[in-house]
Chains A and B, each alone.
Chain A
Amino acid sequence: MIENFYKNRIIKFPKITLFVLFCIVTFLAFYIPRLSVDASAETLLLENDKDLIYTREINSRYDAPDFLVITYTPDAPLLSEKSLKNLKSLKKDLQSLNFVDNVVSILDVPLFKSPSKPLKELIQNIPTLESNSTDRNLAKAEFLSNPIYKNNLVGKDFITTAVVVNLKEDKRYKTLLDKKNATKKASDIKAFKDYREIQRAREHLNLQEIRDVMQKHSYDAQLFLGGVDMIADDMITYVKSDIKTYGSIVLVILLLMLYIVFRELKWVVIPIVISTASIVASTGLFGLLGFEVTVVSSNFISLQLIVTISIIIHLMVRYRELFITRNELSQEELILQTVTSILKPSFFAIITTIAGFSSLVFSGILPVIMLGWMMSLAITVSLIVIFLSFPAMLVLMKKSDKKVYFKTRVSLTALCSHLVEKHKKSVVFFSMLIFGISILYTFDIRVENSFINYFKKSTEIYKGMEVIDRSLGGTTPLDVIIDFPKPKDTPKKTVKKNATEDEFDEFEDEYNAIKNQNQYWFSADKMDVVRKVHSYLESIPEIGKVLSLGSVLELGRSLNDNKDLDDFALAMLYNELPQRFRKIVLSPYVNIKANQVRFSMRIVDSNPKLKRDRLLKKIKYDLVHKLGLKKENVHLSNLMVLYNNMLQSLFNSQIKTLGLMLVLLGIVFFILFRSWKVMLIAMIVNVIPISLIFGVMGYLDIPLDMMSITIASIAIGIAVDDTIHYLHRYKKEYAKDHDYVQAMKRSHQSVGYAMYYTSITIMIGFLVLVLSEFTPTIYFGLLTVLAMFSALVTDLLLLPALLLLVKPYKK
């Protein structure tokens, strides 16, 4: 049936076939601009994460605007006239940007001890660095000792200061996000996505404007930009630029490699045209379907390229093999035989790869699910495009008169078959040894999500984040939220009353009526908890800066002759504090209505000893077991928790999906080869490259994170293709003379070359990624090369060795 389809349709009407394909691809190409790259924090979070819902709730409850941090390191001393003048001018320029709400710097924060004044005088007129009465030497000492400013607004060395740029709240974004999350209606999702696109472009421009301002002020000082918004924007920029730059370099190298190997222009043109058409078609299809590329799925083009080139090379090698061995056949017949003999293994290879990627759909993590869908669809598109366009294109070309014999040029496959023939047991032994060692190193894999390590040390974002980490209190935000137990209502006892007790009751009623007023919330017992939690959190070395009501209490103590502020003073402070200071020192940390306090922290992302999951668990454990808080009253929130949740579930899902992937592979192998033995052999051969990838990651300390998590799927995708093509061919060769060794030799000299060429071409192409500025791209390049290499080695050595040892086929 397939043969007839090819004979009567594709080969007979190649121009029509190509035209129809061209029309479809062109149609889909129009949808490419619709495909958006989304690397925002939102996409990296788990959809149904209860911590995400909690974090959103906390963020809306406390006064915590989005902000960017500019680190400012002047050439002159920080408090010199020149530095302050420049800082003032920088502040003025930033303030004039229309998206900036306000700018906080050392120039405008209140100074309480420069010089010291009685408290009531201070409250009436709080001085700043710019006030006439301020003594700069005292101000320096105050900046370095004030619990809110030290290691936050100024670095310990007093060389660097932070300029906090608070951004105007985007109410529309929040409204649309809330609506989308609440209704999950398609129209609301679309409205949100459309707005987010506009907002992202605007954010990008805003960052550019800030950078322009920084550039203007960079002559007398070193300035870096940091902040969560900036990380997201820079990641998108890197992902996009890597796709553009390295995508095209990889393509050029593939062209060169194809020419070096096949020495004919058509063998360069055909794979490139087909690969490009496949990628264009699938990218357009994703745009049409409203998919979004996230940092996790940004590798889909590379993956599709690998799989597509691999199939085309198998077709090309098979065609050339038939061309040499059956030269009497016409071009049409050669093509027909090529396509029909490769279609089945390719189809199964694709089915297994799709099975592998579809297992990602069960991960429960949206970006990973999307990667699963995207890869499955992309490979299907490739399969269709290849098997329609390859024969159609080739039939339009003349039958070549060149005869290129592979074995005269490359003898590596022959060397492999020789090695297997002579040392099959050693091959199996060494493979098992490598497997064992890899498994051991697999246990060293860290599940970490370090933003700072995504970027090379030479990049601006790395330098900025490092300065913020080292001098200004850390990068990734983490909140600890403590609920206070609800006050119990005074029990009404029915006791015998006398006249005095009646009078007592009158007073009791009077005080019960006012006891819940806000100013009385600041009781000594609550403040004790705040102080204890604050100093515990400050004692953790991985935490950069802790800001909370505890900082305010410490400041109050230092202004009150080193005596803690009592309930009366705190109630007074609450009532008397001007609104603008309340917004800075109270509302970000206290919510009286919710009867809870917030400890806002930043984690030192560049600390190499940082183990994020362990740190979060330790904080929660210690707050309950060492500080005696009730478990239900302690909550952790903010980005640190959300990213960690995603990573942990990525790790769990990786194990889950790998298990599922192996089961699916087993089923497909069994259906394909109809033999338990062959199925097991194929499974063993495919498990080793995966274990090697993980082992190398463990050995080189490459953390498993949202960027590297897809490598295992790629390894499987690559290894499986080679295994299926090899076994399919081997079975055919074995049927000829029932000689295991000869079948191996013939397979190595035919399909072996295709596998070898595919691997070499792709390995050299992907090595280019090592030059990227973006660490995940480098790891992706390295690990893909490793996956290709290990798949090639296991399929050319271990697979035949096991076949020779087990002898699974009946005579």
Chain B
Amino acid sequence: MKSFLMILIFGVFFTLHANVEDDITNMIVQNSEKVTSILKDKSMPKAEQDKEIVRLVDPLFDFYLMGKLCLGKTIYTSLTKKQKSEFHVVFNRKIKESYINKLHLYTDEKLEFEKAKRIRKTRITLLSYLITKTEKKPVIYKFYENDEKKWLIYDVDIFGVSIVQTYRNQFSAALKTKSFEQFLEELDKDKSQ
């Protein structure tokens, strides 16, 4: 009886967890299919495509956390409340633009998804592959569980390059020689990245 109970408890536990990973996998697969169909829709103007994609990906990402991570703890905690909110406004726009620009580069390639994997209690990664004519290239979505128990993407690692880590490098280097205001102004101005 005792052992039956144990099996039941663990069974429920594992099932619950398996559900989260499956949910994440399914959510991303469906989402990416939608995004791909938008990108392939030649009749839709680019601006509208972008708007649609943002609408689709916005709920999946935690852009607020990404902004914090890109600045790094030391810098972020030294900012005033006003600076922080100004930064998040600029960064939100920028990261979305940048992500969408990268999506536009790969409209014709097929995507393959593996099953999401829990690597820590509050972390899940989803490995996918971009299939080109000659090779398979890895794209990893990184999820974390926020305080509201919601799983959100905090970073994407494209072909071995983390978006957050490249921004961390870029921001910390820029802030070595510039004031925060100058940095923010340049970040806002620079539409290319």
On A, residues with C-beta under 8 Å from B are 118-120, 124, 490-491, 493, 495, 501, 504-505, 507-508, 511, 514-515, 519-520, 523-526, 563-564, 566-568, 571-572, 575-576
B65, B72, B167: which contacts A508 (Cβ < 8 A)? B72
A490, A563, A566, A572: which contacts B159 (Cβ < 8 A)? A572
B156-182 near A? 1/0 per residue, CB < 8 Å:
001111111111111001101100000
**What separation, in Å, do the CA atoms of A540 and B134 have in the docked complex?**
44
Q: Are A571 and B105 in contact (CB under 8 A)?
A: no
Q: With A504-B68, A507-B69, A520-B169 as given contacts, are A514 and B162 in contact (CB-CB < 8 Å)?
A: yes
**What separation, in Å, do the CA atoms of A501 and B193 have in the docked complex?**
29
Q: Which residues of B contact A523 (CB under 8 A)?
A: 169-170, 173
Q: Are A576 and B165 in contact (CB under 8 A)?
A: no
Min CB distance A38 to B, Å, is 49
**Could you list 28 A-B pairs, sorted by A, with CB under 8 Å?**
A120-B105, A120-B106, A124-B132, A124-B133, A490-B74, A491-B74, A495-B77, A504-B68, A504-B76, A511-B72, A514-B162, A515-B168, A519-B161, A520-B161, A520-B166, A523-B170, A524-B170, A524-B174, A525-B173, A525-B176, A526-B173, A567-B167, A567-B170, A568-B161, A568-B163, A568-B166, A572-B159, A575-B159
Q: Are B174 and A525 in contact (CB under 8 A)?
A: yes
8 other A-B residue contacts (CB within 8 Å) besides A511-B72, A515-B169, A576-B159: A491-B74, A495-B77, A508-B73, A511-B164, A520-B169, A525-B176, A567-B169, A571-B161
Q: Are B160 and A511 in contact (CB under 8 A)?
A: no
Min CB distance A594 to B, Å, is 18
**What separation, in Å, do the CA atoms of A646 and B38 have in the docked complex?**
68
Min CB distance B166 to A, Å, is 4
Q: With A514-B162, A563-B192, A564-B192 as given contacts, are A124 and B134 in contact (CB-CB < 8 Å)?
A: yes
Where chain B touches its partner, the secondary structure class is: helix
**What separation, in Å, do the CA atoms of A495 and B77 have in the docked complex?**
11
Q: Which residues of B contact A490 (CB under 8 A)?
A: 72, 74
Q: Which residue of A lies closest to B69 (CB)?
A: A507
Q: Which residues of B contact A525 (CB under 8 A)?
A: 173-174, 176-177
Min CB distance B113 to A, Å, is 21
**What separation, in Å, do the CA atoms of A653 and B101 have in the docked complex?**
64
B68, B161, B168: which contacts A572 (Cβ < 8 A)? B161
B106-148 near A? 1/0 per residue, CB < 8 Å:
1000000000000000000000000011100000000000000
Q: Are B173 and A504 in contact (CB under 8 A)?
A: no
**What separation, in Å, do the CA atoms of A526 and B173 have in the docked complex?**
9
Min CB distance B120 to A, Å, is 9
Min CB distance A11 to B, Å, is 89
Q: With A525-B177, A566-B170 as given contacts, are A520 and B72 in contact (CB-CB < 8 Å)?
A: no
Q: Are B166 and A505 in contact (CB under 8 A)?
A: no
Q: Which residue of A lies closest to B154 (CB)?
A: A507
Q: Which residues of A contact B163 (CB under 8 A)?
A: 568
**What separation, in Å, do the CA atoms of A576 and B33 have in the docked complex?**
26
On B, residues with C-beta under 8 Å from A are 65, 68-69, 72-74, 76-77, 98, 105-106, 132-134, 154, 158-170, 173-174, 176-177, 192-193
Q: Which residues of B contact A564 (CB under 8 A)?
A: 192
Q: Which residues of B contact A124 (CB under 8 A)?
A: 132-134
**What separation, in Å, do the CA atoms of A777 and B76 have in the docked complex?**
71
Q: Which residue of A lies closest to B132 (CB)?
A: A124
Q: Which residues of B contact A508 (CB under 8 A)?
A: 72-73
**What separation, in Å, do the CA atoms of A504 and B64 have in the docked complex?**
13
Q: Which residues of A contact B77 (CB under 8 A)?
A: 495, 501, 504
Q: Are A520 and B165 in contact (CB under 8 A)?
A: yes
Q: Which residues of B contact A526 (CB under 8 A)?
A: 173
**What separation, in Å, do the CA atoms of A568 and B77 have in the docked complex?**
25
Q: Which residues of B contact A575 (CB under 8 A)?
A: 159-161
Q: Which residue of A lies closest to B74 (CB)?
A: A490
**What separation, in Å, do the CA atoms of A537 and B72 have in the docked complex?**
36
Q: Which residue of B lies closest to A527 (CB)?
A: B173
**What separation, in Å, do the CA atoms of A674 and B23 have in the docked complex?**
110
Min CB distance B190 to A, Å, is 9
**What separation, in Å, do the CA atoms of A597 and B88 have in the docked complex?**
35
Min CB distance B126 to A, Å, is 16
User: Which of A495, A515, A567, A576 is the most central at the interface, judged by chain B CB atoms within 10 Å of its CB?
Assistant: A567
Q: Which residues of A contact B193 (CB under 8 A)?
A: 566, 568
**What separation, in Å, do the CA atoms of A563 and B74 have in the docked complex?**
31
Q: Which residues of B contact A119 (CB under 8 A)?
A: 105
Min CB distance B19 to A, Å, is 24
Min CB distance A568 to B, Å, is 4
Min CB distance A466 to B, Å, is 43
Q: Which residue of A lies closest to B164 (CB)?
A: A511
Q: Are B192 and A566 in contact (CB under 8 A)?
A: yes
**What separation, in Å, do the CA atoms of A734 and B146 have in the docked complex?**
114
Q: Which residue of A lies closest to B109 (CB)?
A: A120
Q: Which residues of A contact B161 (CB under 8 A)?
A: 519-520, 568, 571-572, 575
**What separation, in Å, do the CA atoms of A524 and B190 have in the docked complex?**
13
Q: Which residues of B contact A566 (CB under 8 A)?
A: 166, 170, 192-193
Min CB distance A190 to B, Å, is 50
Q: Which residue of A lies closest to B135 (CB)?
A: A124
Q: Which residue of A lies closest to B68 (CB)?
A: A504
**What separation, in Å, do the CA atoms of A519 and B158 have in the docked complex?**
12
Q: Are A511 and B133 in contact (CB under 8 A)?
A: no
User: Which of B106, B166, B193 is the most central at the interface, judged by chain A CB atoms within 10 Å of its CB?
Assistant: B166
Q: Are B166 and A567 in contact (CB under 8 A)?
A: yes
User: Which of B77, B106, B159, B192 is the most central at the interface, judged by chain A CB atoms within 10 Å of its CB?
Assistant: B192
Q: Which residues of A contact B106 (CB under 8 A)?
A: 120
**What separation, in Å, do the CA atoms of A124 and B106 have in the docked complex?**
13
**What separation, in Å, do the CA atoms of A493 and B75 have in the docked complex?**
12
Q: Which residue of B lies closest to A518 (CB)?
A: B160
**What separation, in Å, do the CA atoms of A504 and B76 have in the docked complex?**
10
**What separation, in Å, do the CA atoms of A572 and B173 have in the docked complex?**
19
**What separation, in Å, do the CA atoms of A681 and B109 have in the docked complex?**
93
Q: Which residue of A lies closest to B157 (CB)?
A: A514
Q: Are A505 and B73 in contact (CB under 8 A)?
A: yes
Q: Which residues of A contact B176 (CB under 8 A)?
A: 525
Closest 6 CB pairs of A and B: A525-B173, A571-B161, A567-B166, A563-B192, A566-B193, A523-B169
Q: Which residues of A contact B173 (CB under 8 A)?
A: 523-526
Min CB distance A177 to B, Å, is 39
Min CB distance A500 to B, Å, is 9
Q: Which residues of A contact B134 (CB under 8 A)?
A: 124
Min CB distance A574 to B, Å, is 8
Q: Which residue of A lies closest to B106 (CB)?
A: A120
**What separation, in Å, do the CA atoms of A505 and B76 have in the docked complex?**
12
Q: Which residue of B lies closest to A524 (CB)?
A: B170
Min CB distance B40 to A, Å, is 16
Q: Which residues of B contact A568 (CB under 8 A)?
A: 98, 161, 163, 166, 193
Q: Are B69 and A511 in contact (CB under 8 A)?
A: yes
Min CB distance A630 to B, Å, is 14
Q: Which residues of B contact A567 (CB under 8 A)?
A: 166-167, 169-170
Min CB distance A217 to B, Å, is 37
Min CB distance A565 to B, Å, is 9
**What separation, in Å, do the CA atoms of A749 and B104 have in the docked complex?**
101
